[in-house]
Each structure stands twice: as structure tokens, then as C-alpha cells.
């Protein structure tokens, strides 16, 4: 099945279902979004949103978090999993923001990727949702799964999937599209039991009615 003719239809149907799709991580500024996205690795956004209020109340900015005792950060983020590595990433990224970037979260992909705990997914989330900069397409587990099921990519590597989506999508849709796929993945196209009968994309999906391996 040719993916190109279907993509405008897929976008149209997703826009009807998720017109205001946006990042589901609670945040008030770019720094909070960066920290929340680092914590979201192999963790649900729902869990992160339960953890961050106490974290940001105690350490509201980069300078405060850079000076935080590691053990305290570990305790605060423990329930997000991999808490030792995540606490270290929060502290080191905050140090870099304070020392190298004047206390401001960077606005470029290249600079963001120098921060500990930040790969392209996290950088794209921050650039897109905090600054409105479409530098790429966020590829998390939901986007990876749905892009493959919809026939928008044959790749399994997130960066290769991102390249395919960037080529296929208009740049104006890069930010919104990934958030819409995340919402659709949570609500309808689950990993184990996709609800194909309830899916607005079922007539366009080559995997409709088939539970993938």
C-alpha cells in the first residue's frame, strides 16, 4: 500500500479526533519540560506528572537543581524508575544550563544534545512544546509503534523513523503529529490490544484487525 496518498487522509482524521493535541507532561517553562521529559524515559507521563510537583517545589530552577544533593533527587524521582541515572542526569544537565547557557534551556538541537540525559526525542519535545521550534519529529514508543503499523516507515531505529516522518510530513505538522499519535496510541492503538473496531484510521491502516507481534 502506497503511504503517500494516505497520509493527508490520516492527518485529517487525526485532526478530527485530536485537534488540540499537545505535550501531556505538566510544565510551566522550558526547564520544567526538559526535566519532566528526562524523567519520562521508560516511564509513563502520568507517573512523571505525579512526581514533578514536589520536585519543582523544592528545586524550581536550574541553579537550585544543580546544587541539590544527589540522594535527595534520587528520593524525589525514585518512582519513575532508573532513579540513580535520572537523578544524575537532572543534576548534570542543570549544572550545564547554569554554567554554559546562562541559566536558560538551549534553543538548538545541537546544544540540547550536549546535556546529560538528552537525546533527540527529549530535544524535540523541548524545542517543539516549549519554544515552538520544529527541528524534528518526536519518536517515542507510541509514535514508533503507530508509524510502523500505519505503514509510514519500515524502520525500527527511532532516528531512522524520525527521518522517514520528516520526509513524509509537512514541516508545519511535525510538532502536532507526534502528539496526536501519542494520544491515539494511548486511547485506541495500544501495544497489546489495539481497538481496531473503534479506530478512525481503520480504513487506511494496513494492520487493521491484525494484532502485530
Cβ atoms 208, 196 nearer than 8 A:
yes
Model confidence at 1, in pLDDT bands (50, 70, 90)? Answer: very low
Domain boundaries, the chain: 3-21+137-198, 30-131
- Confidence (pLDDT) at 210: 75
Q: Is the pLDDT of residue 2 over 80?
A: no
Catalytic residue among 91, 140, 154, 171: 140
Q: Which three cell numbers stand for residue 185?
A: 496510541
Task: Say if residue 21's pLDDT is above 70.
Answer: yes
pLDDT at 5: 52
> CA-CA distances (angstroms) from residue 204 to 85, 118, 137?
41, 34, 21
Percent of the chain residues topping a pLDDT of 70: 96
Residue range 121-150: average pLDDT?
A: 97
CA dist 149 → 120, 121, 154, 171, 190 (Å): 22, 20, 9, 22, 11
Q: Is 26 a catalytic residue?
A: no
Listed as own residue / partner, the contacts of 69-74 with beta carbons closer than 8 Å and 24 or more positions apart are: none
Does domain 3-21+137-198 correspond to CATH entry 1.10.10.10? no
User: Which pLDDT score is estimated for 212?
Assistant: 52
* Span 67-89, pLDDT tens digits: 999 999 999 999 999 999 999 99
* CATH number for the domain formed by residue range(s) 30-131: 1.10.340.30
pLDDT at position 75, please?
98
| Residues 102 and 63 sit within 8 Å (Cβ to Cβ) | no
* DSSP class of 146: H
pLDDT tier, 6 (very low <50, low <70, confident <90, very high otherwise): confident
| Rounded CA separation 138/125 (Å) | 6
Active site residue 121: yes
Q: Mean pLDDT over residues 188-211, rounded?
A: 91
Annotated catalytic residue: which of 86, 91, 121, 144?
A: 121
Residue 211 confidence (pLDDT) above 90: no
Amino acid at each position: 500500500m502506497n503511504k503517500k496518498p494516505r497520509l493527508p487522509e490520516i492527518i485529517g482524521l487525526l485532526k478530527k479526533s485530536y485537534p488540540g493535541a499537545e505535550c501531556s507532561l505538566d510544565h510551566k517553562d522550558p526547564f520544567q519540560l526538559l526535566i519532566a521529559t528526562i524523567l519520562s524515559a521508560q516511564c509513563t507521563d502520568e507517573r512523571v506528572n505525579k512526581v514533578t510537583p514536589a520536585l519543582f517545589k523544592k528545586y524550581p530552577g536550574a541553579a537550585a537543581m544543580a546544587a541539590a544533593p544527589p540522594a535527595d533527587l534520587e528520593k524525589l524521582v525514585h518512582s519513575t524508575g532508573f532513579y540513580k541515572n535520572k537523578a544524575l542526569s537532572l543534576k548534570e544537565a542543570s549544572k550545564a544550563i547554569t554554567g554554559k547557557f546562562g541559566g536558560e534551556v538551549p534553543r538548538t538541537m545541537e546544544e540540547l544534545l550536549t546535556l546529560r540525559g538528552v537525546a533527540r526525542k527529549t530535544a524535540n519535545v523541548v524545542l517543539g512544546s516549549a519554544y515552538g521550534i520544529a527541528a524534528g519529529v518526536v519518536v517515542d514508543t507510541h509514535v514508533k509503534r503507530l508509524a510502523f503499523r500505519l505503514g509510514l516507515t519500515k524502520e525500527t531505529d527511532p532516528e531512522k523513523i524520525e527521518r522517514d516522518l520528516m520526509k513524509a510530513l509537512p514541516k508545519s505538522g511535525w510538532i502536532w503529529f507526534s502528539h496526536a499519535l501519542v494520544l491515539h496510541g494511548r486511547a485506541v492503538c495500544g501495544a497489546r490490544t489495539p481497538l481496531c473496531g473503534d479506530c478512525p484510521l481503520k480504513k487506511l491502516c494496513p494492520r487493521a484487525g491484525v494484532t502485530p507481534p
